């Protein structure tokens, strides 16, 4: 069936602008209104659905045949065309073939060998920062492990290492709606980043790194050489800001909820739960889109073939239908079913690494820091990511 051409046929509908400065500064009231309007709500201004409730979001993410990723997971066509062929935008069964190769260095057993190095790096950095007592937990702490370790593990050259953070933030901004300043500047950066990876010479990559391993998998016929090149972006694009924002938001929440920090210090076995709860409450990626391949009833709302739906992980994670008192940061809450890492076949392939980086830092801090005082904080508005750009903290040593 051909999709009806007029937006009036989609209901419920609203003219909220999810990419306005107001909403991006504090998106949560808007998310709540969307959840109250229905399991899927037509964003008339942008011509796409918002799926804001926990159960509807999970059911859409599980149904990759109806909610395909192959037409891209951004809002605009230019970003979707640029990302064609990467793992994030491929459907099963091809997607699973790529993911098997991609995951080789990221399985928990492989990550065990990384633990010691991450710990040594984090210890040294925390030592330096504690001497200062006051520091920027974003640029001086949260950036450190992802930038040092991920770019090194992938085996990038100095140029790649230095530019990756700028590129990754640009890529995510470029995923917004057409015509918005943040989208336009992000798309320029997207071109530059894909251009770099498309032209990178295999010899420029560290022969022991993950990037080189992709090309070796291609030599062995597990994937094609084109796929290997495209998958470099899967290692780099989603690995940096996500983890950086995850760690800085966790520290921000700990500064604002000192009783939760005390609790964690008494029982550091809660660190994993504390990270999940931080991801739930301040999801680093607000949402990605899917293209609808056939007419579909999503919990009573009809979505039409040819529509696009924005799955709002950040809203689903605060759904009062699923979480009691959802605005509260509670590290004893069972929030392991949050979807900050996605859900279903595209669930984050790097989540064990991301959580390991965050838990390494928290593990050291719970032993050495009695209290985190927030001195100053700042956010840069972003089309897809949520996180702090600045978090000056003063720490009291234990």
Q: Which chain residues interact with ligand HEM by CB under 6 A? A: 69, 73, 87-88, 99, 234-235, 238-239, 242-243, 246, 279, 284-285, 288, 313, 340-342, 346, 348-351, 353-354
Residue closer to ligand HEM, measured from CB, 102 or 135: 102
How many other CB atoms are there within 10 angstroms of residue 277's CB atom? 26
Query: Nearest distance from residue 320's CB to ligand HEM, in Å?
Result: 21
- Closer by beta carbon to ligand HEM, 61 or else 262: 61
Task: Between 135 and 235, name the residue whose CB sits nearer to ligand HEM.
Answer: 235
> Cβ closer to ligand HEM: 67 or 180?
67
Q: Is the dihedral of CA 321, 325, 328, 332 positive or negative?
A: negative
Measure Cα distances from 230 to 34, 147, 160, 241 in Å. Answer: 35, 20, 15, 20
Q: How far is the CB of 28 from ligand HEM (least distance, A)?
A: 17
Residue 66 Cα to chain centre, angstroms? 23
Minimum Å gap between C-beta 284 and ligand HEM is 4
CB of 257 to ligand HEM, least distance (A): 19
Count other C-beta atoms under 10 Å from residue 226's C-beta.
11
In this structure, are residues 340 and 366 in contact, taking their beta carbons and an 8 Å threshold? no
Shortest distance, position 132 Cβ to ligand HEM, whole Å: 26
What SS3 string covers 226-280?
HHHHHHHHHHHCCCCHHHHHHHHHHHHHHHHCHHHHHHHHHCHHHHHHHHHHHHH
Cβ proximity to ligand HEM, 340 vs 393, nearer residue: 340
Cβ neighbours for 238, distance < 8 A, ≥ 6 positions apart: 88, 168, 285, 348, 350
Closer residue to ligand HEM (CB): 62 or 398: 62
CB of 134 to ligand HEM, least distance (A): 26
* Nearest distance from C-beta of residue 35 to ligand HEM, angstroms: 18
- Residue number with the shortest CB distance to ligand HEM? 350
Identify which of residues 86 and 131 has a Cβ nearer to ligand HEM in the complex.
86
| Strands annotated E in the chain | 13-14, 41-43, 48-51, 67-68, 134-136, 288-292, 296-298, 301-303, 308-311, 369-378, 390-397
Q: 31 in helix, strand or coil?
A: helix
Cβ–Cβ < 8 Å for 291, 264: no
Least spacing, CB of residue 282 vs ligand HEM, in Å: 10
| Beta carbon nearer to ligand HEM, 260 or 384 | 384
Cβ-based burial of 186 (10 A; exposed 0-12, middle 13-18, buried ≥19): buried
């Amino acid at each position: 069936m051909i999709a009806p051409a007029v937006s009036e046929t989609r209901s419920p509908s609203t003219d909220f602008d999810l990419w306005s400065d107001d909403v991006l500064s504090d998106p949560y009231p808007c998310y709540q209104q969307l959840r109250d309007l229905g399991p899927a709500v037509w964003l008339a201004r942008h011509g796409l659905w918002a799926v804001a409730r926990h159960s509807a979001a999970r059911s859409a993410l599980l149904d990759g045949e109806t909610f395909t990723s192959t037409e891209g997971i951004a809002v605009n066509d230019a970003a979707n065309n640029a990302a064609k062929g990467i793992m994030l935008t491929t459907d099963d069964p091809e997607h699973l073939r790529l993911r098997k190769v991609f995951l080789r260095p990221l399985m928990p057993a492989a990550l065990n060998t990384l633990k010691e190095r991450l710990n040594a790096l984090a210890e040294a950095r925390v030592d330096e920062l504690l001497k200062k007592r006051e520091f920027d937990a974003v640029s001086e702490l949260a950036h450190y492990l992802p930038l040092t370790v991920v770019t090194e593990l992938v085996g990038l050259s100095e140029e790649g290492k230095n530019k990756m953070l700028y590129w990754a933030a640009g890529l995510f901004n470029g995923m917004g709606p057409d015509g918005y300043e943040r989208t336009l500047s992000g798309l320029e950066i997207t071109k530059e980043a894909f251009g770099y990876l498309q032209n990178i010479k295999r010899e420029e990559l560290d022969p022991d790194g993950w990037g080189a391993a992709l090309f070796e998998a291609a030599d062995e016929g597990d994937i094609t050489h084109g796929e290997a090149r495209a998958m470099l972006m899967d290692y780099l694009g989603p690995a940096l800001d996500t983890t950086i924002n995850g760690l800085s938001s966790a520290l921000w929440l700990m500064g604002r909820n000192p009783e939760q920090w005390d609790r964690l210090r008494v029982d550091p076995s809660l660190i994993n739960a504390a990270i999940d709860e931080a991801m739930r409450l301040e999801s680093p990626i607000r949402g990605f889109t899917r293209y609808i391949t056939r007419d579909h009833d999503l919990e009573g709302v009809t979505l039409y073939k040819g529509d696009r739906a924005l799955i709002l992980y950040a809203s689903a994670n605060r759904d009062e239908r699923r979480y009691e008192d959802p605005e509260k940061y509670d590290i004893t809450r069972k929030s392991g079913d949050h979807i900050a890492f996605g859900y279903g076949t595209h669930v984050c392939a790097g989540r064990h690494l991301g959580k390991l980086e965050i838990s390494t830092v928290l593990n050291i801090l719970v032993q050495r820091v009695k209290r985190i005082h927030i001195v100053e904080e700042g956010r840069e508005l972003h089309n897809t990511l949520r996180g702090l750009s600045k978090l000056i903290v003063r720490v009291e040593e234990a």
